């Protein structure tokens, strides 16, 4: 099975892009890339999302671009057709995991409790997304999972920010953290792209 962490390399920040237009999405991606980011996730929560993935891959071919919010076969196929380099789900189910079994790119299933973790593990996944992290026990939950599921590592998202990311990244079973705090909606609306670059640098400890 392909490894998402290998795709990320040394990057420990998974920056999430939510854009209302292709232009917005590309500018956000450019701002993130300017901080040294090599991989981004586009959440499929707006009508423009699939076109955003295509546009970023066309205009910034060095960036790895994945699709988030994949919840069924139709969305999976659309995401792969758009050129997604990886797939992330917000939740998991037996049906969804069966759908993902032959996915040609790395997959990170979303989990929120021990049953989800066990189910995903039974399907062969050892890299999971805890979502929403802050509402699912946070760093304390992940710390407890370290001794129960010693072969599982996590990329928590949801409620992560600059002030608490270090608490998560200090855990041995956390390989990255994800979030949208590095691209606040007001910055996007006001085209304050430099603020996104600065936030991404800060999140990576570059400032």
Determine the Cα–Cα distance for residues 27 and 188; give it in Å rounded to an integer: 9
List 21's β-bridge partners, or say none.
Answer: none
Let me know: does 19 contact 28? Beta carbons within 8 Å.
yes
Determine the Cα–Cα distance for residues 134 and 168; give it in Å rounded to an integer: 11
Residue 41: active-site member: yes
Determine the Cα–Cα distance for residues 124 and 145; give it in Å rounded to an integer: 17
Q: Which of 27, 64, 127, 129 is catalytic?
A: 129
Determine the Cα–Cα distance for residues 93 and 72; give it in Å rounded to an integer: 10
Q: Which of 27, 41, 57, 127 is catalytic?
A: 41
Characterise 107 by phi-psi region: left (phi > 0), alpha (psi -120 to 50), beta (else). Answer: beta
Residues known to be catalytic: 41, 129
């Amino acid at each position: 099975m392909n490894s998402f962490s290998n795709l990320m390399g040394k990057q420990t920040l998974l920056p999430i892009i939510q854009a209302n237009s292709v232009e917005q999405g590309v500018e956000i991606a450019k701002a993130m890339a300017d901080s040294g980011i090599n991989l981004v996730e586009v959440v499929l929560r707006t009508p423009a999302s699939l076109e955003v993935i295509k546009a970023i891959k066309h205009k910034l071919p060095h960036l790895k671009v994945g699709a988030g919010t994949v919840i069924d076969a139709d969305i999976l196929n659309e995401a792969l057709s758009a050129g997604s380099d990886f797939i992330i789900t917000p939740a998991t189910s037996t049906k969804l995991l069966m759908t993902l079994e032959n996915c040609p790119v790395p997959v990170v299933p979303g989990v929120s409790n021990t049953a989800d973790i066990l189910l995903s593990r039974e399907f062969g996944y050892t890299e999971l997304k805890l979502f929403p992290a802050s509402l699912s026990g946070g760093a304390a939950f992940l710390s407890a999972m370290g001794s129960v599921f010693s072969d599982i590592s996590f990329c928590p998202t949801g409620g992560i920010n600059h002030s608490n990311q270090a608490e998560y990244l200090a855990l041995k079973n956390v390989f990255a953290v994800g979030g949208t705090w590095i691209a606040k909606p007001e910055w996007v609306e006001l085209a304050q792209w430099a603020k996104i670059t600065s936030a991404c640098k800060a999140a990576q400890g570059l400032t």
